[in-house]
Amino acid sequence: MGWALLGVGLLLALYTLLRHGLRSAPRPRARPELRGRTAIVTGGSSGIGAATALELARCGARVILATRSARRGEAAASRIRRETGNNEVLFMHLDLASLRSVRAFASTFLRQEPQLHLLINNAGVSAGGTTEDGFSLPFQVNHLGHFLLTQLLLERLRSCAPSRVVIVASSAHCAGRLRPECLGRPPSGLFSTFQDYCDSKLANVLHARELATREQGTQVTCYAVHPGFVSTSLFRHAPLWLRALLVPLAWLLFLEAAEGAQAVLACATRDGLEPLSGRYFTRGGPRAPWPAGRDDRLARQLWEGSERLLGLGTPRG
């Protein structure tokens, strides 16, 4: 028994040493002054979104936590106000799985808030399923709902420019296979849920690319960012057997939410990024996305297809 306990103790010690040895400490960075600036963070009640909102509040920004759960959203806003001493942190209801909710949020925000300088499109899901609007859940929450939200708030971003849109993407875009004629439909196959997630992340990268192209000259800039592999609740809907494998792996190798938020915050606040609008970023800075993420024709088709699905605008010739 004693030897068994000793073995377990040694394994735990080795596990902890590996965890800290494989992860580098984040570099300290100067805190920008954001007083007088307003930010929206979708999914701001937990994970990367909450860590991003906390830091923006510490910088003095007025921060809107746009999240689905009123209980978690109000609790997160209260916690951030208490920790930062910034009383301009508010919860507003937003359910990206409902286009009606997206429109209601935008209408309320535009009526109540005169300014918008930062839109952080962070919320995401990896679960399968179909929304009330008839689209696949990952595609709508991760891309289509954010696309609609951005379009509805774009004029306010322009009027408050210089302003930025930051889209939390993922290196999973490498496996994305968007087909313009099938946008919004769940893919088929054994790993359809994973494919759906990867497709939505490719859509994030292409959305940033096309938005930057269309907003040239307006001082609205846009960035897609892979925050790293972060230990969050994103994969809470994974099967139990898969979660049993992911939990120790995440503890050993994945970043904390505050570490993952650093890449998002850099794209939101770092000076001099304007010439890099539309680019894909990682924690190490701008990187070339996988080939599909550099396809301007596919980016344009995704934009026009998203507009058609939402009944917005008219396609460009």
Residues marked active site are found at 197
| Length of the chain measured in residues | 317
**How far is Cα 278 from Cα 294, in angstroms, rounded to an integer?**
10
Within 8 A by CB and 6+ apart from 31, the residues are 55, 58, 59
Q: From CA 56, how far away is CA 35, in angstroms rounded?
A: 10
In sequence order, what E strands does the chain have? 38-42, 62-67, 89-93, 118-121, 163-168, 220-225, 280-282, 285-287
DSSP calls for 133-172: TSSBHHHIIIIIHHHHHHHHHHHHHHHT-SEEEEEE--GG
Q: Pick from 83, 107, 196, 231: which is nearest to 75 by CA?
A: 83
Q: How far does CA 2 lie from the centroid of its chain?
A: 48
